[in-house]
Amino acid sequence: MEAFQRLLGRNSAYILIGPAALWLGIFFLLPMVSLLTTSLSDPAGSPISGYQLTFRFANYAEAMGDYWTYLVRSLVYAGIATVLCLILGYILAYAIAFKAGRFKTIMLVLVVAPFFTSFLVRTLSWKLILADNGWVVETLKAIHLLPEDGRLLATPFAVIAGLTYNFLPFMILPLYTSLEKIDPRLLQASSDLYANPIQTFLKVTWPLSLPGVVGGTLLTFIPASGDYINASFLGNTNTQMVGNRIQALFTTASDYPHAAALSVILMVLIVAMVLFYVRRAGTEDLL
């Protein structure tokens, strides 16, 4: 019995991480290996007969050559949505952390409340809000901010607006966590040293909230760049993102090798951008 306890004590760390390692192996590593092997397979096959692994690296060149515009568009849309989420989310997170008082809990509940509704339903709601005969378009036309034949739906504006709305909570929560940890006495000390509010924000609040900024931008940009729901319902054929192409290649065209290659290219681009961004932001510990 004592020998068993000693053995258990020496291997307790491995026992504790065992379930998580098994989970990652089954639901992450195996699908990743399957995706990589499919991306290097011969496109001459089919989902029914299967694809032969031929290490055909030309799949990547063909996918990049055919769909690079979708990749660029996805990164641009996701980048704009992330910046908008950062601006809106920082203001709201700051208000909740420092100004909400006893209403802090209620405001946090309102932030996460959209998660109680399906992502698809929230996107379809924006389709109704931005409809050509909706009150938003009619109001903008009435105050001459939109021409009589103008529209918002099926435009890049609608896609970016949908991305911003759907992923805004992912930005607010990390920002609030970082801001809420800031000791108010530091802000008071900055004021005592004759710093104005802008200087206090730039020298104290912003640097201390940087981990939340980095975490929030990653949680927003990564899923937004691969999203296809917003572009499907709020955009048109000229606003489709790379996620729409990947979905079409997998489901409609049944071209698994090129779809897998395009997926790998997107993942590599995102990982490279994330590593560069985190290191430039000076928060490598987040990794």
* End-to-end Cα, the chain, rounded Å: 41
Where do runs of H (alpha helix) occur along the chain?
A: 2-10, 12-24, 30-39, 58-94, 104-112, 119-129, 135-142, 156-180, 184-192, 197-200, 206-208, 210-225, 229-234, 242-251, 256-281
Q: Which residues contact 23 (CB under 8 A, 6 or more apart)?
A: none
Q: DSSP assignment of 72-118, as one string? A: HHHHHHHHHHHHHHHHHHHHHHHIIIII-GGGHHHHHHHHHGGGGS-
Three-state SS at 46: strand
Helices 242-251 & 256-281 angle (0-180, nearest 10): 150
For 109, what's the count of Cα atoms within 13 Å in the CB-facing half-sphere? 5
Rounded Cα distance between 94 and 92, Å, is 5
* DSSP state for residue 239 in the 8-state scheme: S
Q: Which residues of the chain have pLDDT under 70?
A: 1-13, 282-287
3-state secondary structure of 41: strand
| pLDDT (tens digit per residue) in 76-99 | 999 999 999 999 999 999 999 988
pLDDT of amino acid 193? 85
* Count of CB atoms situated within 10 Å of the CB of 3: 7
For domain 59-286, give the fold. Answer: MetI-like fold (1.10.3720)
CA-based nearest residue to 164, from 116, 220, 118 = 220
**Counting beta carbons within 10 angstroms of the beta carbon of residue 273, is it exposed (0 to 12), middle (13 to 18) or buried (19 or more)?**
middle
pLDDT of residue 287: 47
Q: For residue 10, what pLDDT is reported? A: 66
**Would you list the domain boundaries of the chain?**
59-286
Q: What is the pTM of this model?
A: 0.88
